[in-house]
Amino acid sequence: MVKPIVLDASALIASIGEEKGAEVVDRYLPHAMISTVNLTEVASYMVRKGMPMDELSELLKDLSLNIVVYDEEQALLAAALLPKTSPKGLSLGDRACIALAMTQNLPVLTSDKAWKTLDLDVKIEVFR
């Protein structure tokens, strides 16, 4: 049985674009959640690739992802993560993803191998 997980933007992008590792991400989709911050990253990427917004909206609706609003608790936690994550080059979106996982006590699914080297209280799963 696949357990709930928080998706990094890279995971959802891989699934939508049928990139390497998409089959791993797809197994998690029925039980996945994503932050509104990371959803913005995904939508921006897809718009840059030429996907019309109505098509993207329909696709997201079909995926039935649990989309979690980025709130004050996550924002403050993401800021607190800065000292441990900035040496590895993590962005605000990366920290927002990790903050959501920490507040939900769930693992994160990402393509970024550097996250595995972080000394954080969250399980990181790399899908490719």
* Angstrom distance (rounded) from CA 63 to CA 79: 30
For the chain, list the domains and their CATH numbers: 5-126 (3.40.50.1010)
Question: 18: number of CA atoms within 13 Å, CB side?
Answer: 0
**What local confidence, expressed as pLDDT, does residue 2 receive?**
77
**pTM for the full model?**
0.94
Could you give the dihedral angle defined by the CA atoms of residues 114, 2, 11 and 21, in that order, rounded to the nearest 10 degrees? 90
Task: Quick: pLDDT tens for 2-36.
Answer: 789 999 999 999 999 999 999 999 999 999 999 99
**Judging by beta carbons within 10 Å of its beta carbon (0-12, 13-18, 19+), is residue 49 exposed, middle or buried?**
exposed
